[in-house]
Chains A and B, each alone.
Chain A
Amino acid sequence: MAVTRRVFLRRALIGTAAAAGTGGAGLALWPGRRLPSPGAPLRFFTEAEYSIFAIVADRIVPAVHGQPSAADVGVAAKADALLAKAAPHTQTDFKRLLGLFDNALASFVLDGRATPFTRLSPAEQDAALIAWRDSRLPLRRSGFEGLQRLAGALYYSDPRAYPGVGYPGPPLLMRADGSVVGGTPEQRAAALAAKKTAATVSPPKEGR
């Protein structure tokens, strides 16, 4: 769940500025692809940033048959809620990262590819992610890791992802006070009804 921070990518930004000064301004302004607005109001992302992160997340955890997609579990909306509570300096860095990640001029300077990430084919997007991951620029690798870990963490911490990884989820436990935790809602209800199917905790230590 380690999100990015300090991802200034200074060299890339300097390169972008230099190219913009010599006629690259059109590329720098080429807008990326937009997804339909999410249902709930965004607290952190702009709609453009939401689209970038959602499209990245769909490549980090691609759709496969029989399992929920990143979009199905709302990875980008989860990221929006999480980042809304992040420290201001972390928020600033993450917005810079997303902007640079989808910037056509920056990708032209860095990788010779003059198209926003969000307008590439899936195979081209994967190649772009690998270029960031394997970059000789440490700050670009930081950017990749920030996106990869955040998308992966938000997807795999959703219980809808558990069946696909063979994780049965938390076991059913009964606390000393008779309340139950873990298991499925049905198991909890049954345990409360029976008050005996769950294991119980030992009584508190003497003299505490």
Chain B
Amino acid sequence: MIHDGAQLTSDVAVDCDVAVIGTGAGGAIAARTLSSAGAKVVMLEEGGHHTSREFDMQEATAFPMLYQEQGNRATSDLAITVLQGRSVGGGTTVNWTTSFRTPAYVLEHWRTRHGVEGLTEEALAPHWQAIESYLNIQEAPESYVNRNNGRLWEGLGALGWKRQRIRRNVYGCMNSGYCGMGCPVDAKQSMLITAVPDALAKGAELYVHTRAQTLTEENGRVRAVEGVCVDPSTWRPNGRRVRVRPKVCVLAGGAINSPAVLLRSGIGNRSGRVGRRTFLHPTLAMVGLYGEPIEAFYGAPQSVSSHQFAERGDKMGFFFETAPIHPMLASIALNAFGSPLRELMAKLSHTSAVIALLVDGFGEGEEGGTVRLAPDGMPVLDYPFTPRMEEAARAAQEGAARILLAAGATDVLSLHAPPVRLRAPADLPNLAAAPFGPNRLSVFTAHQMGGCAMGGDPARSVVRSDLRHHQIENLFVIDGSVFPTALGVNPQLSIYGLASWASPHVLAALGRG
């Protein structure tokens, strides 16, 4: 049953087996698995329960409704725009459906460098297979490759670089291109229409517009989750409270928000590592202009990728994909104003984009970002630009420019303020000469990872390899915040697999193993 915190007329106190904080990729899969095993589950979700009936494919509707901070989340200096979901289904309600298993080299790095035990391809394979079947994860057929992705495919082919078609969690996809605004036809197999309803059908309770404010601890255990109800018309607490007293608590608010819950609570941070090592796949982009229409606003947003440069030895790796080009996000990405902005926006339908996602967290001494609390208790993310990141960003921009030129773009533009324009490979030195630094160019993140890292050493990590907190014995963290590094691939399937793999450990902690 779904309860709306915005509508509650009195405070609520509820006892249960498992409290699950967050309904995204981690929380929903955990809630479904635990409910199916007979556990009494209560889910808390800060966002609202919004369904396809409300998804009108307008950016002005979707971003305030379905994204953190109404679509306004960013790093503290505004240098990196943070796209992160906030509603039932979390990021899965608004992601672009791209589904990759965690690469073997990443799992091996976690084992050797972070002391993560038991997370092997062999151990995860049955969980991935089950999820892939459950969410109908299959390779996008060629007919779903739109011209935006087609240009990436052609450019990669002309350069002889690795390329592959992407797998997607869709069923009955109408190839419209609006995954990021909530699937209007329930084709995307998001948590909103799969695992959350499954958990509810097994008796789970869900409180929406209910923010997990703090966890209270007693004798090394979580005693209660203190939930604060939120009025969505002001996004301020409405005075109502939901207190959940669970036997076991699953924290699944995602990177940034899960660490913030622990920091607000003042518990579980003996190591000082809560909020540290936050990674983002910092994302650069180059855009190409063409003489013919591309219409990158229509069609499956992502169907092609290249991991040619995902592993670059001692240097930071990166991988290429595309981004759909709708007017609002385009205006944020293009770093122009006045007549130049008008002129670039007028070419929207003839524009394609190649994005390059930097694989952060693998370098010696590389610490990524840090989550801290603002005076109002909300999380703030600092993410410094480093020389290592600059080297990778420059290589990635050059690679993206080469792809677009090889794909037939007449003009290629960077997202610098103002943009650098290239018409041929001979112009690449202009790109190399452009400045790099915070707010010198647009950088995005759609993949937030880390902040509650798993690992073998309690002094260097927050949770154990089985995702149980090092000190608080009935607390598990099951979301992207436990990754010790970035993933090198889009994260949803890694989180689903991890949640499926970890759920038996939660049951064991309940005494039901």
Query: A171's contact among B176, B235, B380, by CB below 8 Å, is which?
Result: B176
The interface bits of chain A over 172-204 (1 if a CB of B lies within 8 angstroms of the residue's CB, else 0) are: 010110010110000000000000000101111
Q: Is A96 close to B, CB under 8 A?
A: no
B74, A2: Cβ atoms closer than 8 Å: yes
With a 10 A CB-CB cut-off, give which of B64, B72, B77, B234 has the most chain A CB atoms.
B72
Least CB distance from A42 to B in Å reads 15
Q: Is A89 an interface residue (CB 8 A)?
A: yes
Is there contact, CB below 8 Å, between A175 and B346?
no
B348 within 8 A of A: yes
Contact A90 B338 (CB under 8 A): no
Structural contact, B438 and A138, CB atoms closer than 8 A: yes
From B174, B380, B437, A173 is in contact (CB under 8 Å) with B174
- Do A145 and B439 form a contact, CB below 8 Å, given A167-B348, A170-B176, A201-B187? yes
A-chain residues with CB within 8 Å of residue B81 when the two chains form the complex: 2, 149
Question: A85 contacts the other chain (Cβ, under 8 Å)?
Answer: yes
Option from B74, B176, B233, B345 in Cβ contact (under 8 Å) with A164:
B345
Contacts of B320 in A (CB 8 A): none
The residues of B that contact A176 with a CB separation of less than 8 Å are 172, 185-186
> Does B3 make an interface contact (CB < 8 A)?
no
A51 and B82 CA atoms in complex are apart in Å by: 28
- A157 and B58 within 8 A (CB): yes
Which single member of A60, A166, A199 contacts B349 (CB below 8 Å)? A166
- CB of B471 within 8 A of chain A? no
4 smallest CB-CB distances across A and B, nearest first, come from A170-B57, A202-B172, A152-B331, A141-B439
CA distance in complex: A61, B331 (Å): 10
C-alpha gap A156/B337 in the complex (Å): 13
CB-nearest residue of chain B relative to A7? B78
Name the A residues within 8 Å of B439 (CB-CB): 138, 141-142, 144-145
Considering the chains assembled together, what is the distance between the CA atoms of A3 and B439 in angstroms?
A: 13
B171 near A205: Cβ-Cβ < 8 Å: yes
Complex partner residue of A2 from B72, B186, B337, CB under 8 angstroms:
B72
Please count the residue pairs between chain A and chain B whose beta carbons lie under 8 angstroms apart in the complex: 189
Closest B residue by C-beta to A171: B176
> How long is the Cα–Cα vector from A179 to B51 in the complex, in angstroms?
13
Q: Closest approach, in angstroms, between the C-beta of B189 and any C-beta of chain A?
A: 9
CB of A1 within 8 A of chain B?
A: yes
Contact between B330 and A156 (Cβ–Cβ < 8 Å)? Answer: yes
- Using a CB-CB cutoff of 8 Å, which residues 198-218 of chain B contact chain A? none
CB distance from B163 to the nearest CB of A (A): 28
- Whole-angstrom CA separation of A145 from B174 in the bound complex: 36
- Beta-carbon contacts under 8 Å, A123-148 to B: 126, 129, 133-134, 138-139, 141-142, 144-146, 148
A contact set with B: CB distance below 8 Å? 1-7, 59-62, 64, 67, 82, 84-90, 126, 129, 133-134, 138-139, 141-142, 144-146, 148-149, 152-153, 155-159, 161-162, 164-167, 170-171, 173, 175-176, 179, 181-182, 199, 201-205
Partner pick for B327 among A4, A88, A162, CB 8 A cutoff: A162
Which of B76, B337, B346 sits near A129, CB closer than 8 Å? B337
CB distance from B426 to the nearest CB of A (A): 26
User: A87-B374, A88-B376, A156-B328 are known contacts. Are A3 and B337 too (CB-CB below 8 A)?
Assistant: no
Q: Which residues of A contact B350 (CB under 8 A)?
A: 166
Contact partners of A144 in chain B: CB under 8 A: 417, 439
Residues 325-379 of B at the A interface (beta carbon under 8 Å): 326-328, 330-332, 335, 337-339, 341-342, 345-350, 374-376, 378
Which residues of chain B come closer than 8 Å to A1, judged between CB atoms? 63, 70-72, 328, 332
Q: Which residue of B174, B235, B327 contacts A201 across the interface (Cβ within 8 Å)?
A: B174
| CB-CB under 8 A for A87 and B184, given A153-B331, A157-B59, A179-B53 | no
Instruction: Determine if B346 and A126 form an interchain contact, defined as CB atoms under 8 angstroms apart.
Output: no
Binary interface profile of B, 214-247, with partner A (CB < 8 Å = 1, else 0)?
Answer: 0000000000000000000111000000000000
A60 CA / B338 CA spacing, docked (Å): 5
Nearest CB in chain B: distance from A44 CB, A? 11
Cβ of B341 and Cβ of A158 under 8 Å apart? no
- Residues in chain A near residue B125, CB distance under 8 A: none
* Contact of B342 with A61 in the complex, beta carbons under 8 Å: yes
A residues within 8 A CB of B63? 1, 157
Closest A residue by C-beta to B197? A208
